[in-house]
Amino acid sequence: MNPIPSPFPVTVVAPPPEWWQILGALSPLAVLAAAIVAAIVGLLSLRQKARADDRSEWWRRAQWALDASLSRSRSEAEMGQKAIELLGQSELASREELALLKIGTEDAILAAAKASETRTLTPSQRPDSVSPEDRKVQIAAAKARVMLDRRLSEDTPGWIVALSQEKPEKPEKPE
């Protein structure tokens, strides 16, 4: 019988890999990293565009509210004041925009101040009393002012706070 030869120990010595081989082995990781960075940048730009679109729409509504608040139609002016209050609550509004909305309440607040001055006069001295429709506009403006002052961390005069808590008169029903 022939003896079975025993295996030879063989040591293979390979040269170290070249730099381009190492770089080639890492290329799938580089592609993955680039894809992740591109996805993050894309999502951030979409979020930024959505916020810019939201702010643009907010400003369009604010312009309408400011225009409506100055309307000769008392119901439209009241709606404009209520819209100012609602828009002032939005997180989309900057401090400057809140200050602009506050200016939109000025005419109605000044009219309310004049009306309160004439209330101290005797009925024969009063020029004209405030109509219920005008008073609704003034109350809505006072509510908007209280909210805007709170958002701007400003003090609201007590008479405006009191006006904001008034209940508007209900119109009389025709008989």
With bands split at pLDDT 50, 70 and 90, how would you rate the model's confidence at 85?
Answer: very high
| Structural domain includes residue 64 | yes
The whole-number average pLDDT for the span 122-127 is 46
| Structural domain includes residue 128 | yes
Nearest-CA neighbor of 116 among 162, 83, 153, 80? 162
- Dmax over CA atoms of the chain, in Å, equals 143
Nearest-CA neighbor of 111 among 83, 74, 147? 74
| Structural domain includes residue 118 | yes
φ/ψ bin of 87: left (φ > 0), alpha (ψ from -120 to 50), beta (otherwise)? alpha
| Structural domain includes residue 42 | yes
The amino acid at residue 128 is D
- Rounded Cα distance between 36 and 56, Å, is 30
Tell how far CA 53 is from the center of its chain: 12
| Structural domain includes residue 59 | yes
| Structural domain includes residue 1 | no
| Structural domain includes residue 87 | yes
| Structural domain includes residue 18 | no
User: What pLDDT does residue 10 have?
Assistant: 83
Nearest-CA neighbor of 142 among 82, 70, 61, 62? 82
- Rounded Cα distance between 28 and 15, Å, is 24
- Rounded Cα distance between 105 and 70, Å, is 9
pTM of the model: 0.69
The whole-number average pLDDT for the span 75-102 is 95
Tell how far CA 144 is from the center of its chain: 15
Domain tally for the chain? 1
59-68: pLDDT as tens digits: 999 999 999 9
The whole-number average pLDDT for the span 79-104 is 95
Residue 33 structural domain: 26-164
